[in-house]
Structure 1
């Protein structure tokens, strides 16, 4: 066979492989694998392209398996770089950790002022886009020596996790751990 015929067969088989990929894996998966077409070559014969494709897919599945393993074995992903969140992931169940992480997200919508020593007023940030927004405020009292942080919202007393108001103040004053008093046996 001459080189032109071999080249044509390689091109034809590679195109067949690409069509098979679309049919077998579906469009949704292919959207995540579009970079493979940069690796597959129309000038390379089918066996080499199949080997390249298998390596790419295998690598992707290994990453997915690793993420799934982390989630099943307590390795929930972190939302922040805050050591408090990392510690919460270690000590709480997945459900409680999800609730705790929600409090971390909510705290971004609060501001605070120190009204007297170790007493803070935490309030919602006013949003100009909301015409009749109600501004809520909470009082957080801190005793750093005793490792106590209390808020008048009473979320800890009812739910068993620190509230966004307490977390906001703790972060600002340099408490980067969850005090033992606020780690309940589950």
Structure 2
């Protein structure tokens, strides 16, 4: 248990002791460097670099209710067309990487950059991926624990 605590302290210090080096000059990359742990930042950074290098926007739909639809191709996957819906506060891609991995995909980063969003939408940030994940208690967990305790109490 002490080994795990020491490792957590070391990783927390590493994440908060400085800002990781950014490769490209996207505002989204700077924002990611401020928000994510180092390990997650480097994964996100790979997606941001791939958005710049490998994504080609095929069509851009009209903006309806603040949402713009993009269709794009990934140079590495020639037969695939990805559909991304973007607003100032949200991004949704047909590849579903966010649902599977908890980080945005290159398609979403490409669309967000084109839509001139300079900060990663806060709705798309998972607490467990953030630098300050431990310092944010989740009220949902507290409530569910209280319900669980009451249920166990009533069963007695």
- TM-score norm. by structure 2 comes to 0.63
Q: Which has the higher contact order (CA 8 A, sep 6+)?
A: 2
Runs of 4+ residues deviating >6 angstroms: 69-72
1:154 corresponds to which residue?
96
Q: What residue ranges of structure 1 are gaps of 5+ in the alignment?
A: 1-68, 127-132
| Alpha carbons of structure 1 residues 72 and 165: separation in structure 2 relative to 1, 3 Å | same
Q: What residue ranges of structure 2 are gaps of 5+ in the alignment?
A: 1-12, 63-67, 129-156
RMSD: 2.3
Q: Return the match for 2:61 from 116, 136, 142.
A: 116
Which secondary structure state, in structure 2, belongs to the residue aligned with residue 136 of structure 1?
strand
Equivalent pairs counted in the alignment come to 110
- Residues of 2 paired with 1:113 and 1:159: CA distance? 26
- Residues of 2 paired with 1:134 and 1:172: CA distance? 21
| Contact 2:57-2:70 at 8 Å conserved across structures | yes
Deviations 1:27-66 (A, max 9, x none): xxxxxxxxxxxxxxxxxxxxxxxxxxxxxxxxxxxxxxxx
2:42 corresponds to which residue?
98
Q: Which stretch shifts more, 153-162 or 111-120?
A: 111-120
Q: Return the match for 1:136 from 77, 80, 94.
A: 80
2:24 corresponds to which residue?
80
| Contact 1:125-1:135 at 8 Å conserved across structures | no
